[in-house]
Structure 1
């Protein structure tokens, strides 16, 4: 996902970026460079931040601020909003939690929040250029799955907070899951079944950042060779996915499924 490079998003409310908060920047670059083939460039937010690129396209941000901000190492998705203050109010009104912000950062204002089931996410108000996803053809560089207690209730929460109806996003219900499309593109799935009080963070409600790869087995092997750890591997419709922990404890998922709809086709 990238905030700047392709044609601008026609409406707010879509997923616009994914960001890793970690402790040590050089170590994160070595790991993700080897495992996902990324290259890195310093961003405009200071020496503690870099932008990760895949085939020259920005796909993620990494910031070594976990110790300074006293927050957990984690991958977090951000959603574009027109007004961060309004989004913050909506989160609180619907029993969510605003942990940080709105905070001015670079060309925008950020909010770090949690939904009412405890899944962390961010919202981003752009004061510069508009945000959008950056698929190459039909292939996105990252997509999202929310594992939550009740997919239908979660869809209502995010739909109201992010104003999906007027922001160009729509939801459809497929069995026990919700598929989110923005500007016609499938960008995220919401799945039921997570347990709020579970001691295992893989079972508790959370947003899962998924990076498509050509070979899940080879990627897992390289991650383990570089100090990562396999947390879960499972067969899914149309392919396989594996959830990994990087050496600093950041969880992410690799998959040979190319989009939330389960194939290369939008």
Structure 2
């Protein structure tokens, strides 16, 4: 598996990290699901390990700070040239910075922020660790997308804070359209993330999606390992699994660009998705 060793353009997704109240359980679950192996990471602010797929660093798992029962979840990090400067832009554009910027040892400098709708995301100024070392292959991060009730507002925020430009879906005549239902963030001349309209009562969130060779097989393994298939209120989950309100219009699974996509939750409730390589 070829490693990514160059610094990504500012605004590019570059890392994803899970905070959980059961680190050992998460290691067992995701290790079995994606074939990950683990190595120690920075021990501040808490216990943390890095996941490897085929020898390449692809994600991190850490212990949630604070009291037990804190929500379990994945956070998408975006590459930035200067974490302090971008954090200030987040504040100026109406967002919040909940953590940092702080130094993560010699690996880099990070901050945890949220947009106007409350969707959390990270900023990563890579030093020794530039970000994930592989993507788009089985066991590695895949697509990155934001689910929000107000795509135009989110598009304006991320354009001001991170992206080079925002592109709406193509109109029938081939020209751009407004970002009413969805758009793409462009950094370094390429599409790096998508913004989509969500539905239901669930808050806005960045969705972590991993590439797998066989979505059906991965889904079955996730359920056997204590996870579950996630579907929005009132819609059946794929394969007859139990339903869970995720505020998402896709149901438990659907076929999109790049193959079948299934939305899942780990045994502690951490939401993630898998997309079939295609």
* TM interval, short-chain normalised: 0.7 to 0.9
What CA RMSD, in Å, does the superposition of the two structures yield over aligned residues?
2.7
Identify which of 244, 264, 267 aligns with 1:247: 267
SS of the aligned residue for 2:213 comes to coil
What is the CA–CA distance in structure 2 between the aligned matches of 1:69 and 1:13, rounded to whole Å? 33
Against the structure 1 CA distance between its residues 182 and 64, is the aligned structure 2 distance closer, same or farther, given a 3 Å change threshold? same
Structure number with larger C-alpha Rg: 2
SS of the aligned residue for 2:103 comes to strand
Q: Aligned ranges for residues 123-138 of structure 1 at < 5 Å?
A: 123-128=123-128, 130-131=130-131, 134-135=134-135
What is the CA-CA distance between 1:70 and the residue it aligns to? 8.1
Q: Is the counterpart of residue 35 in structure 1 residue 54 in structure 2?
A: no
Normalising by structure 2, report the TM-score: 0.78
Q: What residue number does 1:51 align with?
A: 50
User: Number of residue pairs matched?
Assistant: 244
Identify which of 157, 168, 177 aligns with 1:173: 168
What is the CA–CA distance in structure 2 between the aligned matches of 1:25 and 1:132, rounded to whole Å? 20
Q: What residue number does 2:197 align with?
A: 192
Identify which of 12, 17, 20 aligns with 1:19: 17
SS of the aligned residue for 2:16 comes to strand
Q: Is the 8 A contact 1:15 1:132 kept in 2?
A: no
Normalising by structure 1, report the TM-score: 0.81
Against the structure 1 CA distance between its residues 134 and 190, is the aligned structure 2 distance closer, same or farther, given a 3 Å change threshold? same
User: How far does the alpha carbon of each residue in 1:167-220 deviate from its partner, in whole angstroms, 9 at most, with x for none?
Assistant: xxx43221632123434554321112445xx1xx3xx21100011112212111
User: How far does the alpha carbon of each residue in 1:53-103 deviate from its partner, in whole angstroms, 9 at most, with x for none?
Assistant: 112111100012344698521100001112222222211121111111112
Q: Is the counterpart of residue 110 in structure 1 residue 110 in structure 2?
A: yes
Unpaired runs of 5+ residues, structure 2, are 171-180, 232-251
Unpaired runs of 5+ residues, structure 1, are 259-263
